[in-house]
Structure 1
Amino acid sequence: MSPTEQLFTAIRNGSITEIRNLITQRPELLQARDPRGSTPLVLATYLGQLEITKELVAAGADLNARDGAGSTPLMGVCFKGNEEIATYLLDQGADPSIQNPTGATALIFAAMFNRPALASLLVERGANPSVRDQRGLTAADYARNQGLTELATQLEADAANR
């Protein structure tokens, strides 16, 4: 098994000691990609592994690196609904304004998947609720289209107050 495969397997297995050893010996592994284009940090955050996320960030992982679909770790945790990791990433300097190739942002993912607490956190940390994706839709539009009236109203008010 290659060092890259070892690292991604260790992340999936939650083996922080093995991860620490691998990235200490080969720091370039922080930029490795799995077959789906995920970086180690993208995978760790997507799997909800806060301690491994912290280890990778401390070792120098790029907070805003994009996966094969062009999404960042912050976008993934907003999709999954992990507030603790989202807060950590934002505290470390993750950019909540990045758009993926379809124009989606972390805030749009939070709205799409009914994550009102995450949406509030993102807006507090600088996410712009007025941003539109390639279809011309805002986070509030996605919320409203799914019948999430309260979230849509919150996001519309946030946009008006900017």
Structure 2
Amino acid sequence: MTEMMPAGSFSSEQITALFIDAARLGDTDMLMQFLDAGMEVDAQDSRGYTALIVAAYNGVLPATGLLLERGADPNMQDAKGATALSGVAFKGHLAVAELLVSAGAKLDIASHLGRTPLMFAVMFGRQDMVRFLLGQGADPHQRDVEGLSVLDIAETHGQSHLFASEGAPNR
């Protein structure tokens, strides 16, 4: 028989999970309640996810904005080294990317595999995101841990056309 936990006896991991779930769902009222009660805005779960990383990844603009307004660090990295901008570039949420960059998200933070947001945008054919990141000054010359450049990745994923009108970066 399993014992029920008394009300109010949640572990810090459970509280963090509820906070991050509120971000995933875009529940700004719940996020504000957590933050007003003293929740650390950049609390990380066991995977290193923060509420901002999850809200941004899921394209939840209002929650992303709220978390940034309340001081979330747009450059926090999860356990794999990915930032909120990495996830947004992968998913193609341009409005969220614009918000993150305007809040100080660095364009070229690489994951543990050396992959930058620009590389993720190229890998998944997010042409508008590629243009946005390049326009903001993302470095197309960085290489991942395998030594691949953005152009190498574009060719491998059948996305070299993304650079046809932009002028291909040097290898």
Q: Does 1:56 align with 2:67?
A: yes
Q: Secondary structure at the match of 1:31?
A: coil
Report the counterpart of residue 133 of structure 1 in structure 2: 144
Q: What CA distance in whole angstroms lies between the structure 2 residues aligned with 1:148 and 1:86?
A: 21
Structure 1 stretch displaced more, 2-11 or 33-42: 2-11
Structure 2 gaps of 5+ residues are 1-9
Shift of 1:36: 2.2
Structure 1 stretch displaced more, 13-22 or 104-113: 13-22
User: TM-score, length-normalised on structure 1?
Assistant: 0.90
Structure richer in helix, relative to its length: 1
Q: Which amino acid aligns with 2:169?
A: A
Report the counterpart of residue 169 of structure 2 in structure 1: 159
Report the counterpart of residue 30 of structure 2 in structure 1: 18
Structure 1 gaps of 5+ residues are none
Pairing partner for 2:135 from 119, 124, 141: 124
Shift of 1:27: 4.2
Cα RMSD, aligned residues only: 1.6
Shift of 1:158: 5.2
Q: How does 1:73-88 map to 2 (within 5 A)?
A: 73-88=84-99
Shift of 1:103: 0.8
User: TM-score, length-normalised on structure 2?
Assistant: 0.86
Shift in CA distance, 158/15, structure 1 to aligned 2, threshold 3 Å: same
Q: Which amino acid aligns with 2:72?
A: A
Q: How does 1:69-108 map to 2 (within 5 A)?
A: 69-108=80-119
Q: What CA distance in whole angstroms lies between the structure 2 residues aligned with 1:9 and 1:111?
A: 29
